[in-house]
Structure 1
């Protein structure tokens, strides 16, 4: 597939779900001229592998432990600018797409895309330098929503993540070294700022913004 005929396109794949990663690897393995040379479970491991192996393409999820995909993309762009980076994600909001592109991603496709789109994305990125699936291209035409950090303080984001993980005020207070009453005050202010009235709505907001996994 490489235009210079120097061998297969070498891909490093990153996703924290082993089953998902194995499935994507199997699909990539069916594409002529593509070789998955390494796999990572988080952004830190991905950076180490890219530094060591210098692949042609990184294909990464966004939501991963320790360091997320967007932070890893920004770091790789700085350290290995020749590597082309594709996001393969379940998040399709314009905010996520634009953040990924601003960090250095040259392509973005959804995890529920048809299998042929994997090959299409790799061929397009190698040939033209970019690939955005039709769904994502449409999203890019939409105005950006405010990010969670635009709407909430760092402390409120911290508390919201724990609320969305199902933790009660006492647990959150213990984790953050606060009193339960202080946590309750923060929660009330979060609801007021976001104009949301219950925990279920807060959880949906946190998932939509990528603060927690569904």
Structure 2
């Protein structure tokens, strides 16, 4: 069972999201919050697998709440669910360690798929958000892109061949279970590899690791 904490300052939005998640027997909403401070407190109290946060909330916004959750309850994955898809929000959320960024305008099935992917250790971006991230990575075929590629290749040079294999599959969006099946490993071993990779690359989560993998040419 995937245990979820849902935070949004609009009660009708929370009811709608709860109803969507209630259609899947593998997901349970264990707590709700109407602002960022309540969200952090609810996560500390209930220790859910995933915290779903709106961005614009009173007292503490969702991005700040996500930072506090990652700092105090790192085992809880953070997913941003919002109507705002500005590049600054995306960059800040992913830079601060969010494992997912979803848009309220997306398909409800996308929300369920995203939460399941994140709970399984993968990262998940709304297709529209993923397009923005890829476009940003691909922008500027000149020196900027070349410098990022060179830096990423130098960054991954510290990894072992097996870690490079795992990183490439992380970059391709595979979950720990999918990577284990692909490389004929047990899932616990993959989790250990991923943890070591994040530490050695100096990144906060799988999204940032995936970006490094993309820039280093490990993802076709």
Q: Is TM > 0.5 for Structure 1 vs Structure 2?
A: yes
Q: Match for residue 64 of structure 2?
A: 71
Q: Runs of 5+ in structure 2 lacking a partner?
A: 138-220
- CA contact 1:92–1:139 (8 Å) conserved in 2: no
Q: Match for residue 94 of structure 1?
A: 87
Q: How far does residue 141 in structure 1 lie from its aligned partner after superposition?
A: 2.7
Query: Cα deviations across residues 146-180 of structure 1 (Å, max 9, x unaligned)?
Result: xxxxxxxxxxxxxxxxxxxxxxxxxxxxxxxxxxx
Query: Cα deviations across residues 61-99 of structure 1 (Å, max 9, x unaligned)?
Result: 000000000000001110011101111000111211110
Q: Match for residue 112 of structure 1?
A: 105
* Structure with larger Rg: 1
Using the size of structure 1 for normalisation, the TM-score is 0.62
Local SS of the residue matching 1:12: strand
1:11 aligned onto 2:1: no
Task: Detail structure 1 runs of 4+ shifted over 6 Å in the superposition.
Answer: none
| Between structures 1 and 2, the one with greater helix share | 2
- CA contact 2:2–2:116 (8 Å) conserved in 1: no
After TM superposition, list the pairs within 5 Å mapping 1:107-186 onto structure 2. Answer: 107-143=100-136
Query: Cα deviations across residues 111-163 of structure 1 (Å, max 9, x unaligned)?
Result: 0101111111012112242101110001113449xxxxxxxxxxxxxxxxxxx
RMSD of aligned alpha carbons: 1.3
Using the size of structure 2 for normalisation, the TM-score is 0.60
Q: Match for residue 56 of structure 1?
A: 49
- CA contact 1:62–1:70 (8 Å) conserved in 2: yes
Count matched residues. Answer: 137
In structure 2, distance between residues paired with 1:66 and 1:54: 21
Q: Runs of 5+ in structure 1 lacking a partner?
A: 1-7, 145-214
Q: Match for residue 36 of structure 2?
A: 43
Change (3 A) 1:94 1:141: farther
In structure 2, distance between residues paired with 1:105 and 1:85: 5
